[in-house]
Amino acid sequence: MITWGSTTLNVMYGTWSPYQSESTFIETILIPDSSNPNAINTVLQQSGRGRYRISATLIFSSITEYIALLAYKVGGTLQTLNDGTINAGYYIDTLQPPKYESDSCIKADIVFVEE
């Protein structure tokens, strides 16, 4: 069972994708070497670990469940995400518009971002 705060998330099988992180390098452009046009004119700088992002497709049994999560997203609510391995504070980064399979089966893609 996966929860975000007191909300139980109904995750579509095979879509839970934890621990996606941003690149740890920043590529900075340098002034080109006019005597050697084939030379690399960038330098890589390590920037540390980016915030973890977790993506999934959620299944809702009613539009009110979707609207509740949308309100949390708009409000910038921080809650504890728990999937049995992860137990940390996460915000909702993105919540895609709902896709209606039927009146009682609504799907939406979501991305959580680490506190």
Q: Report the candidate in 49, 42, 41, 8 with the shortest Cα–Cα distance to residue 28.
A: 42
pLDDT at 68: 95
pTM of the model: 0.76
Q: Where are the domains of the chain?
A: 2-22+52-114
Mean pLDDT of 5-17: 93
pLDDT at 106: 96
Mean pLDDT of 17-45: 81
